Amino acid sequence: LGTLPAFAAGDAAAGKAVFAKRCASCHGDAGEGKESIAKMLKVEMRPLGSKEVQAKSDADLKKDTLSGTGKMKAVTGIDAQGSDDLIAYLRTLKK
């Protein structure tokens, strides 16, 4: 796996742990999106490494995470550092 790149605001390695705990149950271990969840919610779940998702600003990704977007509920139990770490990890998924 090697080392994850460093980002100004967050720690991608710590963000991976946040992702595994709070996000992977719907978004999949590698951010690919779980088809069963997408079908249940009747939504298209874009891979988190896709151009559409990666084109969002860090602030927009953080807002989507902490406030929810579409049928995605807000993610609870993440502090400011945890959300910075999570965004840093999401950036490592870029295709």
Predicted confidence (pLDDT) at residue 85 exceeds the cutoff of 90: yes
**Average pLDDT, stretch 11-29?**
96
> What is the C-alpha separation between 3 and 9, in angstroms, rounded?
17
Q: What pLDDT, on a 0 to 100 scale, did the predictor assign at position 9?
A: 76
Average pLDDT, the chain: 91
* 3-class secondary-structure state, position 19: helix
Percent of the chain with pLDDT over 70: 92
Q: What pLDDT, on a 0 to 100 scale, did the predictor assign at position 7?
A: 47
Greater confidence (33 vs 7) lies with 33
